[in-house]
A = this chain, B = another copy of it.
Amino acid sequence: MLTSQNNTKEKEGRAMILERITSKGLAHFSYLVGSDGEGAVIDPRRDCGIYVERARRLGMRIRYVFETHRHEDFVTGSVDLSRITGSTILHGPGTPFAFGSTVYDGQEFALGKIRLKALHTPGHTVESMSYALYDTTAGNAAVAVFTGDTLFANGVGRADLEGPVPEMAGLLYDSITGRLIPLGDGAAVFPAHGEGSVCGIGIGKRTVSSIGVERALNPALQVSREEFVRQRIEERHELPAYFKNVEKWNTDGPPPMEGPPRPAPLRAEEISARLHQDALVVDVRTPAAFSAAHIGGSYSLWLDGLASFAGFVLPVSAPVLLVAERLEDADRAARYLLRMSYDRIEGYLHGGLETWYAAGYTCESVPFLPVRDLAQYLSEGRRVTVLDVRSIREWESGHIEGALHIPAGQLERRTAEVPGDGPIATICGTGNRSSFASSILRRRGFTDVHTVLGGMTAWRNMGR
């Protein structure tokens, strides 16, 4: 006879713990999972203190660190985390990691009342693993699976990183259909990335997912193996330059990171001196503030876009200086950059940009162009190059006639395509990427550059 008497409140009866740690910027998901005081972390980020502290709070000892694969977009925290916690790092076979141990397909790991089972799911990379989660108190159906970059909400991993795409794409299809879908529709899907990541195509906004939901709704799973492979071949992926460095670090073991980044406050004079030593300025203020005044040569990179676009323009070896409205923003920017292997954050302009211009240094500006003015110029036939820096998908969903299209991430290496002899109006969705684009053009010597205020959104709403 069952009863609803409250019988499980004593401390020995702990619930399964499953926490998703979201790292914004790269839209990275990592997980802390465990039971009865034993736990594991899946795909830890570089600044790994968060797992250590959460585990202590929960009274959980981290016994394992599981890597779903060698990440290309962020530096792994597994080596630091393993050192701090004495845990074992586990990753898939076939990549010459200088740390950790290799897990084989089918291997199981008990953590209190839960169990993780390793599944080899190559395709995104050759050693990609997924880890199925079982509740040992309840039976044999998998309750969830950590899918890394193999399967996302609404998307699948890219197959162009290691080996020939057709082959890798085939492996990916087989991994999903042969290893993941058999876990059952009910298994929740916990991937390594959410919407906004470049590690897969069309990752959706959904934060709830399951094998059943993906089987029903994921566009990539509605087609045949052939078509799936064909789609992967057709995809065009970006390869920010920093990926190479991250891959190397994630193979050899990254340099240790001590504590959270704390960029040093720098005075205007110190910033100025470093500019003469090839430091690059990353200005994370709003496009409006950048428009009005900024240090000449700065990149305009809004905070939420920093992780996505910095990798296209900053060499990993470059000393970086930050300009931000406030300390918290500089700290956040530094954290994002360190996760991407930018270890030379020299400091930030203390007191904000006003200390720069009050100290007598010159500023530059990039005028904002209202959509109404742009419309009028175009209707009057004035010569103005509309440079649309949105993605191909956005471009294809509608654009201004006669515009030139170069996605923001490609602009720096394709500035030769931009006509240098007249006004340029950069445009994107609302004004963040276009501000980034304008800053690239200004660095390359273009002088008559405007950022379209409100972008295509304002353009479409112009009738209001």
Contact = CB atoms under 8 A, between A and B. Distances in A.
Contacts of A231: 2
A199 interface: yes
A377 to B, nearest CB: 16
Nearest to A57: B327
Contacts of A15: 194-195, 205-207
A372 to B, nearest CB: 7
A287 B357 CA distance: 13
Contacts of A217: 135, 138-139, 141, 143
Q: How many copies does the complex hold?
A: 4
Given A18-B207, A185-B186, A353-B288, A212 B141 contact: yes
Given A185-B186, A464-B359, A206 B16 contact: yes
B359 A370 contact: no
Interface string A284-295: 011111011100
B198 A4 contact: yes
Given A235-B1, A357-B458, A358-B12, A56 B262 contact: yes
B9 A457 contact: no
A450 B360 CA distance: 18
B288 A9 contact: no
A365 to B, nearest CB: 7
A14 interface: yes
Contacts of A5: 198, 236, 238, 391-393, 407, 409
Contacts of A357: 370, 431, 453-454, 458
A148 to B, nearest CB: 16
Nearest to A6: B308
B204 A135 contact: yes
Interface in A178-217: 184-188, 194-202, 204-217
Given A213-B141, A289-B292, A351 B11 contact: yes
A288 B285 CA distance: 10
A460 B359 CA distance: 9
B370 A362 contact: yes
26 contacts: A1-B392, A2-B235, A3-B236, A3-B391, A5-B198, A6-B308, A9-B304, A9-B308, A12-B457, A18-B207, A18-B208, A61-B265, A140-B216, A141-B217, A144-B208, A186-B186, A186-B212, A187-B210, A285-B289, A288-B353, A291-B292, A293-B368, A358-B430, A358-B455, A358-B461, A359-B461
Interface of A: 1-18, 35, 37, 52-53, 56-57, 59, 61, 113, 133, 135, 137-141, 143-144, 154, 158, 184-188, 194-202, 204-217, 231, 234-238, 258-259, 262, 265, 267, 285-289, 291-293, 304-305, 308-309, 325, 327, 350-355, 357-363, 365, 368, 370-372, 390-394, 407, 409, 428-433, 453-455, 457-458, 460-464
